[in-house]
Amino acid sequence: MNTQTKESHSDLERFFALGESDPTADLELRNSVASRLLAPIQNRLPQCLISCGGESQLTRAELPRSPQSVIPLPQHLFMINWADSGPGISWPEDYYVTFVPGFERFVVTASMDGTDMWGVTDLAIGSFAGSVDLRAGVESVIFAWWSAQNREEPWAYVWGEGLIDKETAQRWCDAVWPEQPIEEDWE
């Protein structure tokens, strides 16, 4: 096993040891795991081009590819947009699930087009055993991820479907952010 493969293995062990802890904690480790798992599909992840003073820059750095004999292939779940804060300014978050052989676990990742929210573009947000139903495992991880963020408002809409369709994603959203009754002002 080379040094890079040992580091990857060690990161996965430490990540799986986190269990169901706060998915918004241990961001460096979560980013390391997500980056390694998502490297084979990095051209599909959210990306933003910023232009300022005649200079243009992409918000996503190239992910390092580690030499492995077996390369796990992430499967697209769905993409949401947290909000449209102005013309052409969206806040996408793309979700993937990857089976990790040897550990017999699935890892769910969230990818953003910029670093403004978490300081990184990719995070491993949770995992579940390979024996767990895929949809049920993904739902549990996504539910914990959205709940841990303590956002007052839900995301705006589903931007793309994968293994999870719009209706399912919306049901999960409604479970995390139930509609609040409108309070009327009787003054």
Confidence band of 53 (pLDDT split at 50, 70, 90): confident
- Which tokens hold the place of 82? 């947290």
Question: With the C-alpha atoms ordered 103, 18, 11, 6, is the resulting torsion angle positive or negative?
Answer: negative
More confident residue, 115 or 127: 127
pTM for this model (two decimals): 0.85
CA distance linking residue 65 with residue 4, whole number of Å: 10
* Main-chain dihedrals φ then ψ at residue 174, nearest 5 degrees: -65, -30
| Dihedral angle of Cα 52, 93, 31, 67, to the nearest 10 degrees | -90
What angle in degrees, to the nearest 10, is found between the helix axes of 134-148 and 166-176?
Answer: 40
Average pLDDT for 136-163: 94
- Is 171 in a helix, a strand, or coil? helix
